[in-house]
A and B are shown apart, each in its own frame.
Chain A
Amino acid sequence: MEHELQQWLDEAMQGKEESFCRLVDHYQNGVYNLCYRMLGNRHEAEDAAQESFWRAYRNLHRYDPSRSFQTWLLSIASHYCIDQQRKRRMTLIAIDEPFEETFGSNSPTPEHVYSNNEQSSQMEELINTLKPTDRAALVLRYWHQMSEKEIADTLSLSVSAVKSRLFRARKELAEKMETRREEYELHERETYEPQKI
């Protein structure tokens, strides 16, 4: 497999379109998942993933073969999604009020959202509220199992910037977690045992 991928990559870099499409087939899930976790919507994720592969195809001559191709693809996709998120946030802020008034009553109630009742869907809702770059760092950390160094390479940040973004994202998520009274009291009685992460 490794060997095959390398061969497709070499051929794609020499301009063979068919080989690049093979690479697309192989890496689609990773890129799509990142886009989906970043944008939270299947339709936009499809467009973003397609666009990311197109950008990779156009800029293949800039790819540095000493880096991992997967990381390079994810880097293109995360930069694109961060941009999209920023644009979307700007328009959302601009139309915030009429949006609330018109659709506020139709928006799903929390019960409805959580009745899909995977906890992961609650997590999706929470992740939605993070700043784009913080969100990207968190997605790469927990969905793509990247180290802080890899996240730094992917997002073109320093390792310490990644650390502080992950910290901020975790804090925001934690603070939004609802805690029930009884859990809280139980926890109070327990001796604190730090968890494995």
Chain B
Amino acid sequence: MNSMKGKPMNHKKFEQMILTPEALTSEEREELARHIATCESCRKLSLQWQKASRMLNKPLPMAAPAPGFSARFAHSIEKRKEAEQQKQVRRFITILLVSLLSAALIFAVTYYSTNSLETIIKDTANASAQMLFLWESLKAIISTVTGFLPTVLLIPFLLTAASAMLTLTLLWLVSIWKLTLQKETVL
């Protein structure tokens, strides 16, 4: 920059002119030529760019794919569609699972903060008994339905059942834990 005889701004301008010569007027061309005669670094850049632009402007080979490109594409469509479907199913299951689990958690928390321990244990026992009864009929329903429903549709069904079981287990665990706490304080 210092070699520019104290005119760094002009120097920048000439770089611009060297690298985008398509926009130059004839006066600008002359101005550039005069500058290049006196400025070594612009002269170097100009020479380098002339080389580079000669290479870029030569008819450049267009790369072509290996034969059968569109046939390969046609073949891949089915696979890609399948992969996309699976991805959607996975996303759906994840969302469902997360929402079921958070619903179960919210339920458990509100339930515990609003009820006494005796009611909780009684309710949990009742719910478990009902669940056992339901489980039997659930199995019957599943075995008849699996015949003609795709497995994908069974998944939400099974997930709901699983999260109900999970909630119950959770309730039992917390009840037992609370009971032991109570005993300790009594003792």
Interface residues of A (CB under 8 A from B): 17, 21-22, 24-25, 28-30, 32-33, 36-37, 42, 45-46, 49-50, 53-54, 57-58, 119-120, 122-123, 126, 138, 142-143, 163, 166-167, 170-171, 173-175, 177, 179, 183-184, 187-188, 191-195, 197
A123 to B53: give the CA distance in the assembly, Å: 10
Given A173-B49, A187-B46, 7 new contacts (CB under 8 A):
A33-B62, A45-B65, A49-B69, A123-B56, A142-B57, A143-B60, A170-B53
Tell me if B97 is interfacial: C-beta within 8 Å of chain A: no
CB distance from A32 to the nearest CB of B (A): 4
Set of chain B residues within 8 Å of A122, measured between Cβ atoms? 55
Set of chain A residues within 8 Å of B45, measured between Cβ atoms? 171, 174-175
Stretch of B13-21, B116-124, B150-158, B179-187 on the interface side: B13-21
CB distance from A173 to the nearest CB of B (A): 5
Residue of A25, A36, A179 touching B70 (CB-CB under 8 A): A25
Set of chain B residues within 8 Å of A192, measured between Cβ atoms? 32-33, 36-37, 46
A115 to B69: give the CA distance in the assembly, Å: 30
Set of chain A residues within 8 Å of B139, measured between Cβ atoms? none
CB distance from A9 to the nearest CB of B (A): 15
Q: Are B43 and A174 in contact (CB under 8 A)?
A: no
Residue of A50, A53, A171 touching B19 (CB-CB under 8 A): A171
Set of chain A residues within 8 Å of B64, measured between Cβ atoms? 28-29, 32-33
Q: Are B19 and A28 in contact (CB under 8 A)?
A: no
Where chain B touches its partner, the secondary structure class is helix
Stretch of B72-80, B140-148, B165-173 on the interface side: B72-80
Set of chain A residues within 8 Å of B57, measured between Cβ atoms? 142, 197
Closest chain B residue to A18 by CB distance?
B74
Q: Mark B89-109, 1 if CB is under 8 A from A, else 0.
A: 000000000000000000000
Set of chain A residues within 8 Å of B5, measured between Cβ atoms? none
Set of chain B residues within 8 Å of A25, measured between Cβ atoms? 69-70
Set of chain B residues within 8 Å of A36, measured between Cβ atoms? 63
Knowing A170-B19, A171-B15 touch, does A179 contact B63 (C-beta < 8 A)? no
Residue of A28, A54, A167, A184 touching B69 (CB-CB under 8 A): A28
A46 to B63: give the CA distance in the assembly, Å: 11
Knowing A24-B73, A25-B70, A50-B72 touch, does A173 contact B52 (C-beta < 8 A)? yes
Set of chain A residues within 8 Å of B178, measured between Cβ atoms? none
Knowing A29-B65, A122-B55 touch, does A179 contact B47 (C-beta < 8 A)? yes
Set of chain B residues within 8 Å of A142, measured between Cβ atoms? 56-57, 60
Q: Are A194 and B32 in contact (CB under 8 A)?
A: yes
Closest chain A residue to B61 by CB distance?
A120
A30 to B65: give the CA distance in the assembly, Å: 10
Closest chain B residue to A138 by CB distance?
B56
Closest chain B residue to A183 by CB distance?
B47
Q: Are B19 and A167 in contact (CB under 8 A)?
A: yes
Set of chain B residues within 8 Å of A28, measured between Cβ atoms? 64-65, 69-70
A177 to B53: give the CA distance in the assembly, Å: 11
Set of chain B residues within 8 Å of A123, measured between Cβ atoms? 52, 55-56, 60
Q: Are B65 and A46 in contact (CB under 8 A)?
A: yes
Knowing A50-B72, A174-B19, A184-B47 touch, does A29 contact B62 (C-beta < 8 A)? yes
A119 to B56: give the CA distance in the assembly, Å: 10
Tell me if B50 is interfacial: C-beta within 8 Å of chain A: yes
Residue of B24, B43, B55, B73 touching A187 (CB-CB under 8 A): B43
Q: Are A170 and B49 in contact (CB under 8 A)?
A: yes
